[in-house]
Amino acid sequence: MKGFIKEIVIAVIIAFVIMQFIKPTIVKESSMQPTLYENNYILLNKQAYHFGEPKRGDIIVFHTGLKLENGKEKMLIKRVIGLPGETITIKEGNVYINDKMLDQSFTKDGYTDGDIENLKIPEGELFVMGDNRLVSIDSRLAEVGCVKIDDVLGKAFVRLYPFNEIRTF
């Protein structure tokens, strides 16, 4: 009996430690197509930015001030486009970082709507957008704006479901 209790305690401790580093998440909307689709099951590295800096192209889940219909906080999943201190411009369907045009081949339509001129991203914040730019609620909208790195819940590092689409990010 002692051995059984010891095994359960060890299993609980291991599960607790894993949950400090990894958070499973289900994609709920279409704003990250064609990279992620609704009901994709992904894992987040919750400690990614405690040990390193965000990089352009990272896919993150973050807290927002937005609310769901049931009153709970709406979390968003987006791609990091602009980093702290950079200047972003969006015009004529293109995105420019520090006056250099960004490759948008990973987006659904290869086009970004909206107009932003010379927005300097504050220190400690990120400019994020979905890959499906025409439907994405992201940093282009005042209600989201630039995202504080402290508000990032985690960085997506693997898609586990659907099984035939398992991949790392």
Q: How many CB atoms lie within 10 A of CB 102?
A: 17
Contact 150, 100 (CB under 8 A): no
The amino acid at residue 120 is K
3-state secondary structure of 123: coil
Contacts of 145 (CB under 8 A, 6+ apart): 139
Report, as residue numbers or ranges, the catalytic residues. 31, 78
